[in-house]
Amino acid sequence: MMRATLTATKRCSLAPTRSNAVTKVVKKKPGSKPATTKAKAPTSAKSATNPNVHTADEPFYSVKGNRKWSRKLLVILLTVFAVVMSVNIVMVWFALKSNTGIVSENAYEEGLAYNKTLAEQAREAGLGWSVVRNVADFPVRLVYALSDARGAPLGGAWVRVKATRPIGDGEGSEFEMELKEFTDGTYAAENIAWPHKGQWELETTFVYEGKSLTAHERVNVD
pLDDT profile of the chain (222 residues), mean per 10:
44 45 47 52 50 53 65 91 95 80 76 86 92 91 94 95 83 90 93 91 94 93 90
Q: According to the model, what pLDDT value does residue 59 have?
A: 53
Q: Going by C-beta distance under 8 Å and a sequence separation of 6 or more, which residues neighbour residue 152?
A: 185
Q: Record the pTM.
A: 0.52
Q: According to the model, what pLDDT value does residue 3 have?
A: 46
What the chain holds in terms of domains, given with CATH numbers, is: 128-221 (2.60.40.1940)
Q: According to the model, what pLDDT value does residue 94 have?
A: 84
